[in-house]
Amino acid sequence: MKLELKIHDKNTDRLIDGEAIQMIEFFRDKARVFYTDDEGYTVFTDNFEIVIEFLPPEPIDLREEQKK
């Protein structure tokens, strides 16, 4: 099973791709995330949701599997 992690920044109402996420910090009172925006700047937010997207499985070539 493959997963893709994304962040929904509630301050800007944008969905941030997992490749742009630099770091997620978890503290007792609040978590925060740092990511790179479209202009290349590091952005910080503590008002976000973690989005996990389940990707479809890759097809298996049975002919290749039988050769092994």
Task: Give pLDDT, residue 67.
Answer: 65
Domain with 36, as residue range(s), is 2-67
Task: Give pLDDT, residue 65.
Answer: 60
pLDDT score of 66 more than 80: no
Task: Give pLDDT, residue 61.
Answer: 75
Based on the structure, what is the number of domains in the chain?
Answer: 1
Interacting residues of 45 by C-beta distance below 8 A, sequence separation 6+: 9, 10, 11, 12, 32, 33, 35
pLDDT score of 62 more than 90: no
pLDDT digits (tens, 9 = 90+) for 1-56: 789 999 999 999 999 999 999 999 998 888 999 999 999 999 999 999 999 999 88
Task: Give pLDDT, residue 1.
Answer: 75
